Amino acid sequence: MLARVIGAQEAERARVARDLHDEIGQSLTSVLLGQRVLIDALDRKDPDLNDARKHAGEVRALVANALQEVRQLAFDLRPTVLDDIGLVAAVRRLARELADRHGVPVDVRLEGLDEDSRFAAELETVVYRVVQEALTNVARHAAASRASVSIATGDGWLQAAVDDDGVGFQPPPGRPASLGLAGMVERASLVGGRLAITSAPGAGTTVRLEVPRG
């Protein structure tokens, strides 16, 4: 059990580190470069103030973008909507973000529950994190034109499935090598659930999670 907890934590830390490096790190590097250009423009013997104002505006836009990425990362770490409103609202927000940021429409379907349904905090967190990781993979790797998230409950189980029509892949036998996929498996097992990944090259991917409601 301890090994599984540590594995899930390390997978989450790896994801955060990747996001910090790939997104926020690149944005802040752009800010530094923009600042250098602005300083060079002002250090000229006869500085062009209009040109300097233009560069200042560009730096301001870069800072605003970096700030938005920091806010997004904070939301990814622990979305307040998950605590305040619940699982369905948080998943719908993930779906909107994938559509807005990556142009992939996501259909959210419910069966046996409604917008206001609540579950144990631990179960909601596990389902949310698995859906989040699956949608992140859709955005980064699937080259999909559409995706769907299905959440259902009944017979003592809470179920979630993420489907896409992307390029697919050949799942490795045994434990997934990818930290993201391994993290999903570990999260499911920590609450007595199970996770299955179905995919093939050219056939899209389905991530299916079942966790007991207790």
Which CATH number does the domain housing residue 197 bear? 3.30.565.10
Which of 40, 22, 34, 37 has its CA nearest to residue 60?
Answer: 34
pTM of the model: 0.66
Whether residues 54 and 99 share a domain: the answer is: no
Cα–Cα distances in Å, from 87 out to 55, 56, 81, 113, 194?
43, 42, 8, 11, 19
Which of 112, 185, 103 has its CA nearest to residue 144?
Answer: 103
- pLDDT, tens digit, 9 for 90 and up, residues 25-75: 788 888 888 888 888 888 888 888 888 888 888 888 888 888 877 776 766
Whether residues 72 and 88 share a domain: the answer is: no
| Domain-terminating residue out of 54, 77, 100 | 77
Q: How far apart are the first and last CA of the chain?
A: 19
Q: Is the dihedral of CA 211, 77, 149, 202 positive or negative?
A: negative
Question: Using the 8-state DSSP alphabet, how is residue 78 labeled?
Answer: S
Whether residues 111 and 38 share a domain: the answer is: no
Name the β-bridge partners of 150: 109, 161
Whether residues 99 and 137 share a domain: the answer is: yes
Whether residues 59 and 144 share a domain: the answer is: no
- pLDDT, tens digit, 9 for 90 and up, residues 162-209: 999 999 998 877 665 566 777 788 888 888 999 999 999 999 999 999
Whether residues 192 and 86 share a domain: the answer is: yes
What was the pLDDT predicted at 3? 59
Specify burial of residue 133 (Cβ count, 10 A radius: 0-12, 13-18, 19+): buried
What was the pLDDT predicted at 60? 85
Domain hosting 134: range is: 80-212
Which two three-digit tokens encode residue 183? 């993290």
For the CA atoms of 72, 85, 120, 75, what is the dihedral angle to 10 degrees?
10
Whether residues 177 and 117 share a domain: the answer is: yes
| Domain-terminating residue out of 77, 95, 129 | 77
Whether residues 147 and 132 share a domain: the answer is: yes
Name the β-bridge partners of 160: 151, 209
